[in-house]
Structure 1
């Protein structure tokens, strides 16, 4: 009686592991929003990491987060590292910036799981607004593929991106301080 149960369990686990191996080796999460502000204003809120952290949803998740900025404040080479019990340990660096158009970052997570991703913000003018697209992509090692069977990466990260874009929109559309 025990032998058929064990064989069935083994077969089920084997099928799950085989299915997991067929899952994609990369992921991409993307969200967009329309911001009623010129691209130059929106760009300044992304390209300067001090400004970025005014609306960054991950920064707001843990008031005790410890962040450290690099020597360069904005543009290529600007960097920021953080340590947090709630959002983990990691760093980001701006790799490339095209004024009022695009910011590309390397995003490295150390804890709770190691991951190395690329983040891109694309700005497109639309009449009196700017369409902002925030995307992240990276590799999915085998263990992460197993986790993706249970956790919906697009929903988890996508919800944070949506909140961040709402925060960015609020900040960018606020009247300029005098």
Structure 2
């Protein structure tokens, strides 16, 4: 009887998990922040990957992370490579599109602890309060990956990390 109940409970859990995972196959997170600096200053902070350590939420979470930049910094094709968490995190982000003082698009190639290729689109707009930076994060994944993202609450963690990154961007520019 106990085995039957455990089997039923496990089956319900798996069905519920895959139902929720279906909604996580495509994740889009949009965050915005206003920074009291010129659009050019804010744009340059994001465009030049050499500046990323000043506002990287990943480096803030893992200060021992190793990184290097390849290509011509601030141009299409420039890459920010990282290795952190004692070798358990590995990947790179590459600038794939730049519209001067308007938008920057980066594609990440995450190899560890899981394989993913999220896209970050940044847009910049001058407002009365400063520069409005909008970060649009997109991630497409398979059903099994989405199941594990649901199981471990990854979307919530992504939202917090993206928010932390924008807060660090603001701090790095306004507290100079």
**Shared fold per TM-score greater than 0.5:** yes
Give the CA RMSD over aligned residues: 2.2
Corresponding position: 1:144 with 2:145:
yes
1:119-134 residue pairs with structure 2 within 5 A? 119-134=120-135
Distance 1:95 1:150, change over 3 A: same
TM-score scaled by structure 2?
0.87
Distance 1:11 1:66, change over 3 A: closer
Contact residue 30 and residue 135 of structure 1 kept, 8 A: yes
**How much has 1:58 moved relative to structure 2?**
0.9
CA offsets, 1:124-144, max 9 Å, x none? 111241111112111121222
When Rg is computed on C-alpha atoms for both structures, the one with the higher figure is: 1
**How much has 1:59 moved relative to structure 2?**
1.8
TM-score scaled by structure 1?
0.86
CA offsets, 1:23-81, max 9 Å, x none? 34210122110111111110000000001221111122222211121021112111111
Q: Structure 1: how far apart are the matches of 2:78 and 2:154?
A: 27
**Residue number in structure 1 paired with 2:82:** 82
Distance 1:11 1:163, change over 3 A: closer
**Residue number in structure 1 paired with 2:110:** 109
When structure 1 is superposed on structure 2, of 98-107 and 126-135 the one drifting more is 126-135
Q: Structure 2: how far apart are the matches of 1:114 and 1:29?
A: 19
**Residue number in structure 2 paired with 1:19:** 19
Contact residue 91 and residue 112 of structure 2 kept, 8 A: yes
